[in-house]
Each structure stands twice: as structure tokens, then as C-alpha cells.
A and B are shown apart, each in its own frame.
Chain A
Amino acid sequence: MVGIGKMGLSHHAIVNSHPHVKIAAACDTTAYLTDVLGKYTGLKCYSDLDRMLSEEALDAVVISTPSRLHASMVEKALQRGLHVFCEKPFVLDVADGERLIALADSKGLVTQVGYHYRFVGAFREAARVVASGALGRVHHVRAEAYGPVVLRPKGGTWRSAKNEGGGALYDYACHAIDLVNFIAGAPKSVGGVALRQTFSRDVEDEVYCSMYFGNGATGQLAVNWSDESFRKMSTKVTVWGTNGRVSADRQECQTYLREAHPELPDTPTGWSVRYTTDLTQEVWYYLRGEEYSAQIDYFVTSCEQRRTDGVNTFRSALQADRVVEQILAEEHSGVRTVQAPVPLAARQGLWARLFGRA
């Protein structure tokens, strides 16, 4: 396990409870966390990735470090012939991604990125409805993601530093973009980009843009992680076609068909709603959501079967990074001009952080 932050800890618990996996070691630069885990669970811990990779006999790694570090760490793991599960976004530079895909392919290694929404029943249902053609000619897609992540100007972690891969575009919008790719296909180009700062100093809090698809369809992306009215991240995708529309969030999938369609025999004319209670498959261990366990189980199975063309491969995830790059190329608000990096809390010593001012 590489990185034991918020996501790393969650992945750790899930991987640790998987009957087919043994965690050999974990690595994090914050010795504090690895020490606690080592002390209370007997986990072998490293603070240096190179050392861990050279000393441990591993089959795979799970990388949950700040986004800026993904590319180099993935490369090191692939070079040693390890299968890799990497948190999203995959990479911050598409060129890195292409290189890593070639490397993984050359060694026949399994790759997967943490776009867990592809394992959520309601979104899978939406993808199924669209893929069936029951909506007729798809002409518009809307993807939205809202949440209460940044509600204050102050920010002292990597998520508030743009050169670390922080900001609503890399951290939030990527999920929505990958969902669009999953449910309706990847857009060819983007336009009308607005990256706005609401509270953050150095990164954007809101992302808005139009999307243009190869088949002539249009799309809109709206992402805002400074909305307190949402208790937690809320993601929604709607697809319009000439024969109806489908709308899905994490809990339910609502479909409206003007006329029933032979490719969707279980869906009548008019409204039908399917809920998470209906659409979710059971997992062996639950933490925060079935999708987190399901994606790990999928990765483990892929490693066992050497399945290199499954769900959320690097190749699939890179499509989201391409859209992000297009958005950055198009935006006009000048948020991402180069500035001196924001000093991070991690750079203070432990005592300063424990006894220093809030």
C-alpha cells in the first residue's frame, strides 16, 4: 500500500480484509500514521518507496498518494513487474500516461484507476440504458458534481496546491468526466471553459464547460466543491435522446422512455426508477459503500486472471486526463498561471503542528 491518507486508509482496510490478499507492507512519508498502524496491527512500514519496492516481494501495489506523485510511482512499480491500482486522477500530464500505458502493455501488467463510480449500480444502469440505444439519438449529456469540500479561504494540504494536483478540476471534476466517458462516451472537444475560485487562493473551486461529442451531441459539465448545502459529494449524470432520457446519481437511476424499446425489454414506456437497494451487488466486506469493495475485488480478480483489458484500465482513465488537459488549454480565467508553491503543513515539524497555533 503506497500512501495512507484518507483514501489510502480506506483502501487498506478493504484490501486487508480481502481473503485472497496479504498486505506485505505500507509506505507513507508521514511516519506518524505508519507508526500507529505498525504499533497496533503489526504492519511492516516504510517511509521510502524505493526501499520498500526493493526489499519486499510483491505482486501488486495500491497507490493513494497526492496526484502529482502518481506518474513516477506508477512507473517504479511497473518497472518491477507489479500490477498497479492507482487513485484518480491517473496522471496530470497525458504524455506520462501514454508512456505508462505502453510500459504496462509491454509487460502484460494489470492496471486499474480508482474511478469507483463505475462500480455503482445506479450509474451502471444508466450506462446500460444508453448502450441499449433505447434513448434514440443521444443529443445532450449533463454531468454535475457538488460537495462541501472547501468552504473557507484557508487550505494547508496538497488539495489546495495546484502544482500538487489539487483543485476541483483534478479532485472532483475527474469523477464527473470519467462518468460521462463511461455512460455516453468521451467528448471530442470542450469549450466555454470557466474555472472559478470561490474560496481557494491557488486552485479552482468550480469548473464549468461545454463538451462536444463526435456524433454531434453536446454536453455540459458543472462542478462545484464549495457548496455547503450538500452533506457529501453528490454526482449526477443525465443523458437526453430523441426517445427519452436517463438520469442517475449514486442512489437511483430514473429513466423516461417516450416509447418502450426492444433492447430494454424490462423498461416500460414512461417513467421507471431503479434504486440502489435493487441494483447493488453484495460485497464480502463493506466500508463507506459497496463500490469501494467491488473495485478492489475486481482488481484482485484481474491480477489473478491477468486481465489487462478490464474496467478502469490506465487506457480508460487517461481519457479523463485528456479531457482535463483540453479544459486547461481552453480556459480563460488565468487561475493556473505559475506561482510559488504554497507551503504545506507537512513541511512543518511534528511538534510545531501539535502545539502550534490552529
Chain B
Amino acid sequence: MDRVLFGDNQFFGVNHMSEEKARAQSMRFQGLQAIIDVLDAAYQEGIRTFMCTTHDRVGEICGYFRAHRDKYPDYRFYPCMPYAHKYANAVTEHGMVDALRRFLPDDGALGAMLKGGVALANKDVRGIMQLLIDAEMKMFHGLSTPVIFVQNVITDLLLGLGMKEALKIFADHVRDKYQAEPGFITMNTPMLLDVLDELKIDNPIVCSNINKIGFRMCGGIDLYEKTIATRRFRPVAMSVLASGAISPREAIEYVCGQPQIESIVFGASSRTNIRQTKALIDELSAR
């Protein structure tokens, strides 16, 4: 994995610190070009991995990169699935089983439809999950997706429910069908690592909040530091700036000072911010 990954929160009105800021960004990035301009700026700064949700609009972004392969020959995507609100809204509107049915493929592939109906009827979680993953991955066809993540809402829900096997099903399908490395986004890293150990998922990629103020690091910052230092996994740090609560230099100095952290994902909406953050990461990683 590259040292620096680019995130997508700013493009889709997600800001964990301020609803006002989130709305302003939502307005700013309404059009595809505004998003492409920022991704292009990041590319010019040497960031060639886009870690993004499977929001419908990401489909448009994928279309652009497919059409401009020559301009971005080494670009890669790390899909993070599913975009939870899409499903949550559907469940509210239709109830759980009907919402599930709506998301399974209905594009005429009789095999998939049948598999979906049969899987649903048999409560075959493996079959259902594989189809949902495939549906989420459709927008990335033809693009490089070396790592595929499961979003924290799902990871942590499965973790809490004790549906451990589902995490293995995800990992297996990502490897088998997409020849990609599975990644797990979570807010509960120590708890998750215990389960992944149990499932014999070795040296997993785990993306979680890692920041100086311990924001959303369940188990506490001391436990996280100990976990990062001693356990076998590939940490990806997110929310490094804690949504703006920590100043950039201080924030990045902390993360770069931790051992073992392979990559840092951050989002920004201007070239200046991208350059500044990347420069800090480069500088403080070299030490």
C-alpha cells in the first residue's frame, strides 16, 4: 500500500466535527468536475490511491478514470463498502428483507437473480454477501482495486452481533473473485483483532482512527498504542487530524511516531491543504 491514501469524506458532505462544514462541502462538490479537480491535484502531489465509499456518485468518478487511463496509468482505488445510508434508508422505507431484495441484482442475469432469491430464501449469508459485494464492486470494473475494505458500520455491527463468519466470507470473496487484499475499517480495533485472529485471518489490513487525542479509539489510546506496537496486522490510520481538532503538524507527528503504521488516509478539498499534509507526512515519516 502507498504511504498516503486519499479519502472521500469531503466530497460527500461528511464531516464528523461540524454539520455546517459538511453542508458547505456538500455544496462545493455537487458537480463531478469539482471532485475531479481535487483528485487531479492530489495526483499531481504524488497521491495515486483513492479510498472511497460506494456512493452512487463514485460511479461517475470511476467512469472518468476509465476514460482517462492514459493520464492516470498507475491510479488505484480502494473501495469501502457498503455506503451505509443507501441501505439504512432502504431498510426504513421497505423493511429489512425487502430492502435486501432490492439491492440484489435484477439486471437480467438470471443466474444472479435466482442465486439471490434462493440465497435469501435459504438464509444463505455467504450467497447473499457475495452478491452484495459484487453489486457494490460493479462500478469499479476495469479499474485497479488491490485492496477492498468493509465499512466500519458493517464490520462493527458484525463484530457486536458475533457474526464472525461473515467477516471471513468477506475476506474470502475479495481474495477469490477480485484477487484483492481484504481490509477492515473499524472503530474497535483491539476487539476486531481478537476476532480476526480467531478466524485465522493473518496479518489483516485494519483501517481505524489513530490520532493524538484518542478520538473514537475504543479501548483507549494506551491500548491502541500497545496494540499497534505488539500485534501482527497492517494498520492504516484515519481521522489523523480528528476532523480538525488537532493541528496538522502535531497530528501527523503523533501518527508518524507510532511503529508499524503502513498508510495514512486523509481527505482535503484544496491543493494547498493536500500539498501541506503530504509534505508533513513525507517529512515526519523520514525521521
Q: Do A and B bind each other?
A: yes
Q: Which residues of A contact B (CB under 8 A)?
A: 5-6, 9-10, 12-14, 16-17, 30, 32-33, 35-37, 39-43, 148-150, 152, 154-157, 159, 231-232, 234, 249-252, 275-278, 280, 282-288, 290, 345-346, 350-351, 353-355, 358
Q: Is B46 an interface residue (CB 8 A)?
A: no
Stretch at the interface among B86-94, B130-138, B198-206, B255-263: B86-94
State the 10 A-B residue pairs at the shortest beta-carbon distance, nearest first.
A13-B160, A286-B187, A277-B245, A41-B162, A17-B160, A157-B95, A286-B218, A13-B161, A36-B123, A40-B163
Instruction: List the B side residues contacting A149 at CB < 8 Å.
Output: 89, 92-93
Q: Which residue of B lies closest to A14 (CB)?
A: B160
Known: A39-B123, A276-B17, A277-B213. A156 touches B98 (CB 8 A): yes
Known: A14-B160, A231-B14. A354 touches B165 (CB 8 A): no
A354 to B214, CA, bound (A): 45
Instruction: List the A side residues contacting B214 at CB < 8 Å.
Output: 282
Instruction: List the B side residues contacting A288 at CB < 8 Å.
Output: 153
Mark contacts of B183-197 with chain A using CB atoms, 8 A cut-off: 1 yes-contact digit, 0 otherwise: 000011001000000
Q: Is B98 in contact with A278, judged by CB distance below 8 angstroms?
A: no
Please classify the interface of chain B as helix (H, G, I), strand (E, B), loop, or mixed, using the class held by over half of its residues: helix
A214 to B188, CA, bound (A): 46
Known: A149-B89, A353-B101. A285 touches B163 (CB 8 A): no
Q: Is B65 an interface residue (CB 8 A)?
A: no
Q: Which residues of B contact A (CB under 8 A)?
A: 12-20, 22, 26, 85, 88-89, 91-98, 101-102, 106, 117, 120-121, 123, 125, 153, 156-157, 159-163, 165-166, 187-188, 191, 213-220, 242-243, 245
Q: Is B159 in contact with A252, judged by CB distance below 8 angstroms?
A: no
A124 to B165, CA, bound (A): 39
Q: Is A16 in contact with B161, judged by CB distance below 8 angstroms?
A: yes
Instruction: List the A side residues contacting B88 at CB < 8 Å.
Output: 6, 232
Cβ 8 A contact of B19, one of A6, A39, A41, A249: A249
Cβ 8 A contact of A251, one of B16, B121, B219: B16
Q: Is A156 in contact with B18, judged by CB distance below 8 angstroms?
A: no
Q: Is A150 in contact with B93, judged by CB distance below 8 angstroms?
A: yes
Instruction: List the A side residues contacting B215 at CB < 8 Å.
Output: 277, 280
Instruction: List the B side residues contacting A275 at CB < 8 Å.
Output: 17-18, 243, 245
Instruction: List the B side residues contacting A148 at CB < 8 Å.
Output: 89
Q: Is A276 in contact with B89, judged by CB distance below 8 angstroms?
A: no
Instruction: List the B side residues contacting A283 at CB < 8 Å.
Output: 218
Cβ 8 A contact of B98, one of A9, A345, A351: A345
Distance in Å: Cβ of A145 to nearest Cβ of chain B: 13
User: Given A9-B161, A232-B88, A285-B156, list of 17 further CB < 8 A pairs?
Assistant: A13-B157, A16-B160, A30-B97, A39-B125, A40-B162, A42-B162, A231-B26, A234-B19, A251-B18, A251-B19, A252-B17, A252-B19, A278-B245, A287-B153, A287-B156, A287-B157, A358-B106
Known: A276-B16, A358-B102. A37 touches B161 (CB 8 A): yes
Q: Is B121 in contact with A351, judged by CB distance below 8 angstroms?
A: yes
A42 to B162, CA, bound (A): 9
Distance in Å: Cβ of B189 to nearest Cβ of chain A: 11
Instruction: List the A side residues contacting B121 at CB < 8 Å.
Output: 350-351, 354
Known: A17-B159, A40-B163, A286-B188. A32 touches B92 (CB 8 A): no
Distance in Å: Cβ of A277 to nearest Cβ of chain B: 4
Instruction: List the B side residues contacting A234 at CB < 8 Å.
Output: 19
